[in-house]
Amino acid sequence: MKTTSIALSLSMLLISGLALADDDCDDPISNWQPREILRQQLEADGWTVYRIKVDDGCYEVKAQDNKGHRVEASFAPASLELMDFEREDEDDEDDYEDESDDDEGNNMSNQAPAGEQPLPSNGIVNSRPTVTVQ
């Protein structure tokens, strides 16, 4: 009785492990297509490709799709089949725009440009640092 329950538990553990291990691409390297072919296919579909790298045996692409959304997608390197697709949220850019949409003549000196953090108001930092490249 005890042996049966242990065997059943081990088999369930192995089956669940196999189901979770399917996230990675396992194409042999000899069958991989060049990244440039994937880039050309995506750009033909209207994407702007920023980066293609290998992650977990898949081609991971960071790009902007044909609708203007920033995306991260994984492709099988041999077949160039889409394995995973994720659209990155752009909600962070709107944080400071919502504070004063209704009055046009407001003082914008306390607000940071879109995508930047506001200056602390404790008097330690008086302005943004400047960088000079020589």
Q: What is the DSSP string of 99-128?
A: GGSS-TT---TTSPPTTSPPPPSSSS--S-
Q: What mean pLDDT comes out for the span 82-88?
A: 91
In a domain, 105, yes or no: no
The answer on pLDDT for 110 being more than 70 is: no
Task: List, in sequence order, the alpha helices (H) in the chain.
Answer: 2-20, 35-44
Report field, pTM of the whole predicted structure over 0.75: no
Structure tokens at 124: 């330690």
Residue 81 placed within a domain: yes
Name 71's bridge partners: 63, 87
Sequence-ordered list of residues with C-beta below 8 angstroms from that of 71, at least 6 positions apart, any chain: 61, 62, 63, 64, 65, 85, 86, 87, 88
**The total number of structural domains that make up the chain:** 1
Q: Would 131 be classed as within a structural domain?
A: no
Write out the residue range of the structural domain in which residue 56 sits: 49-89
- Residue 72 within a domain: yes
* Residue 85 belongs to a domain: yes
Torsion of CA 117, 130, 51, 84, to 10 degrees: -10
Q: Is the dihedral of CA 69, 74, 75, 81 positive or negative?
A: negative
Q: Domain for residue 107, yes or no?
A: no
* CA 82 to each of CA 41, 51, 66, 75, 77: distance values in angstroms, whole numbers, following the listed order: 12, 16, 16, 5, 10
Quick: pLDDT tens for 15-39.
654 444 456 899 999 999 999 999 9
Distances (CA, A) of 124 to 11, 57, 120: 61, 48, 7
- Which residues, including other chains, have CB under 8 Å from residue 80's CB and lie 6 or more apart? 33, 37, 38, 41, 59
Residues 45-69 have pLDDT tens digits of 999 999 999 999 999 999 999 999 9
Residue 24 or 113, more confident: 24
